[in-house]
Amino acid sequence: MKQQQNSRDNKRILVVDDEANMCHMLSLLLTEAGYEVDTAEDGSVALEKLGEKHYHYIFCDIKMPNMDGMAFLEAARQYLNTTSVIMMSAYGTIDTAVEAMKKGAYDYISKPFKPDEALLVLKKAEERENLKNENRELKSRLENIGEAGRFGSMIAESKSMRDVFMLARKVARYDTTVLITGESGTGKELIARGIHFESRRSQKPIIPVNCGGIPENLLESELFGHKKGAFTGASRDYNGLFEAADGGTVFLDEIGDLPLALQVKLLRVLQDNEIRPVGTANSKKIDVRIIAATSKNLAEEVEKGNFREDLFYRLNVMPIHLPPLIERADDIPLLCRFFIERYSTRFKKNIKGISPEAMSMLMEHTWPGNVRELENLIERAVILAEEQELDGGLFSSLAQPAESRQNGVDDIISGYSIKSGKQVLEKVLIRKALAATGGNRTKAAQLLEISHPSLLSKIKTYGLE
């Protein structure tokens, strides 16, 4: 319990309830859990206390004399920007809970409740606050990166990704359909979200749909909705995800897995801006932007007869291709710093950086899982790290036998041109040497066994600056 208390030093909770027994019980429970607890008998007294000090969490009863919980939420709005409010009531309904959420409450708990229920809802509130704080810190760090090097929640230093960001930023201004292509793990959904949040639709929802993750017999209903009785189990009307996204964006991930029968219906949506719920004869007008993504080559899928040609051209109005991480290795050091900061904050560890040996291993890896694989590796390394620097031993899973390394070269070099292959290998070796020397070009030139001016010339030629 002592360790738990230390982790919650200075976390203050205000319990607002006209029942003295409830205030006493919660005060004892939360104090024992390591929080600093104050109590108030109604909303007006709670308002006075909020004016005196900041509270991280508030447990507030709904039904109280003088000022009830709903009135308190309204009156205390200016104090609650960084405070999670948990409403309590013995008389509540779902409508009451929804109304409380609209007024700014985080969660709702019905009386009587067990002590572990109160601690559980508080734990959820803490996790939410930690995530919000982490997002704020990451946002602050992102603001220090130039606009050209960031888009949405993505960052990059490579020219190829900065070009992608520039294109996505332009596309976001217009309501055109976008098709994002790239290998799994390259960040297709992050680009889609960035486009949505930089568009005029940013105040409306973006709803992601995994076209390969929903059973085919349910996909049409899930997308376009259904009427009660349309099929067995349709016990009520259902609006569907397109209608839920009205005014916003639908992100169709892995569009290449969409069944042919549904491809026809999606084409109608793109052409007419209308949907037809299952079991109805009437269409509904909708205002939805469609962003699709796929790791497949849709042109090849069209040739094979797996994807409709007319739908492909409707989707491919504005194509955006995300290069694999192996083609933009310049981003690896920046992404490493970003993920180290993220997971050091999340896991409350003091990791300062990554050793040259470890960075060299990361630069040499072929990254079949792309950025997602890199993030997972860094997360695991931060968890396992005993020192303030991530060393090569934490990335031992990247060690490959000679045959696998040869296969990696085959993956990097396409075609048979010795000239182009030599250039690719030079870039890889220069990146590796710079990573191993912490960016020291004189030492890197010695490792590469070339002159310092020659290294500077190659860095400029290959855009590695």
- Identify the pLDDT of residue 404: 41
Run of H or E residues at 390: strand 389-390
Q: Mark which of 138, 169, 202 sits at the end of a domain.
A: 138
Q: Could you give the CA distance from residue 100 to residue 267 in angstroms, rounded to a whole number? A: 41
Q: Are 153 and 298 in a shared domain?
A: yes
Domain with residue 437: its CATH number is 1.10.8.60
- Is the same domain home to 206 and 263? yes
Is the domain of 186 the same as that of 233? Answer: yes
pLDDT score, position 3 = 42
Q: For residue 244, give Cα distances in angstroms to 270, 275, 330, 365.
A: 17, 12, 40, 42
- Residues 335 and 313 placed together within one structural domain of the fold: no
My answer on whether 252 and 307 are in the same domain is yes
Statement to judge: residues 297 and 156 lie in one domain: yes
For residue 71 the two structure tokens come to 């009135």
The answer to whether 129 touches 109, Cβ cutoff 8 Å, is no
CA 256 to chain centre: 23
- Looking at the fold, whether 183 and 304 belong to one and the same domain comes out as yes
Compute the distance between CA of residue 439 and CA of residue 363 in angstroms, rounded to an integer.
13
Asked if residue 364 and residue 438 are part of one domain, the reply reads: yes
Which helix (H) or strand (E) covers residue 146, if one does?
none
| CATH code at position 265 | 3.40.50.300
Print pLDDT tens along the chain (465 aa): 444 444 455 689 999 999 999 999 999 999 998 899 999 999 999 999 998 889 999 999 988 888 988 999 988 888 888 888 998 888 767 677 778 888 888 888 888 888 888 898 888 888 777 767 766 665 665 566 667 788 888 989 889 999 999 999 999 999 999 999 999 999 999 999 999 999 999 999 999 998 887 887 788 888 888 888 878 777 888 888 998 999 999 999 999 999 998 999 899 899 988 988 888 888 889 999 999 999 999 999 999 999 999 999 999 999 999 999 998 988 998 899 889 989 999 998 988 888 888 888 898 888 989 999 999 999 999 999 998 889 988 998 886 443 443 444 555 555 566 666 677 788 888 888 887 777 778 888 888 888 777 788 788 777 776
Of 360, 320, 386, whose CA–CA distance to 443 is shortest?
360
Of the three residues 121, 138, 155, the one that is the final residue of a domain is 138
How far is the C-alpha of 409 from the C-alpha of 97, rounded, in Å?
A: 59
d(CA 371, CA 105): 36
- One domain for residues 399 and 442: yes
Which residue blocks in 16-172 are alpha helix, DSSP H? 20-32, 43-52, 69-75, 94-102, 115-143, 159-171
Whether residue 313 sits in one domain with residue 336: no
Same domain, yes or no: 130 and 209:
no
- What's the pLDDT at 402? 37
Q: What is the pLDDT of residues 277-289, one digit of tens each?
A: 888 888 889 999 9
- How many domains, in total, are found in the chain? 3
Residue 354 backbone dihedrals phi, psi, to 5 degrees: -135, 140
230 and 375 fall within a common domain: no
Residue ending a domain, among 90, 121, 138, is 138
Residue 431's closest CA among 417, 407, 447, 453? 447
Q: What is the pLDDT of residue 225?
A: 86
Cα-based angle 160, 163, 169 (whole degrees, multiple of 5): 145
Looking up residue 92, the CATH number of its domain turns out to be: 3.40.50.2300
Rounded Cα gap, residues 147 and 149, in angstroms: 5
In terms of pTM, does the model score above 0.75? no
Q: Which domain holds residue 90?
A: 2-138
Map residue 40 onto helix, strand or coil: strand
